[in-house]
Amino acid sequence: MNHYIAQANGYPGTNFGGSCFAENYTAPGYNGVNNPALNDLQKKCPSMVSGIPHCQSLGKKILLSLGGLVVTENAYALTSVEDAEHMADFLWGAFGPLNPSGNWPRPFDTEGVVNEVDGFDFDIEHINAGKKNIHGCSRVLTNAMCQASKSIILS
């Protein structure tokens, strides 16, 4: 995740290099403003869809990294505790165990194949005002992880 919900039109942004292509999900907008130019959640990730279960079958853990290299000052900032909690709900719904009643996009699923990550890695390399809310995100993820049927990693 290289952009969070405020910076990517309501859904976080992803950058999986050449593993995803073609199109992005249509995000719902953020705080009453819908800017489709900011839609940045990649939709078609065929090598991820096949690679995740293969690596997991070999005993490898798949972690989704949040943050990383800072290109611009506010590339990934959680602007409030509410944003942080929403981000956690999104991460769990989109990349965690499948919830059949959930309404989140699932970038790593395709045609009956459900993939879930084994955890989330907070790679926060630069602290700014928006990153101080990361604790709200980790708290909500931790609560969801306690309800999961398998162990989930948070680093």
Per-residue pLDDT of 22-70, as tens digits, reads 789 999 999 999 999 999 999 888 888 899 999 999 999 999 998 776 6
Q: How far is CA 99 from the centre of its chain?
A: 16
Question: Rounded distance, CA 67 to CA 49, Å?
Answer: 22
**Residues annotated as part of the active site:** 125
pLDDT score, position 135: 77
Q: 109 in helix, strand or coil?
A: coil
What domains does the chain contain, in order, with CATH numbers?
Answer: 17-154 (3.20.20.80)
Q: What angle do CA 29, 103, 106 make, to 5 degrees?
A: 90
pTM: 0.88
With beta carbons less than 8 A apart as the criterion, state whether 41 and 13 touch.
yes
pLDDT score, position 123: 83
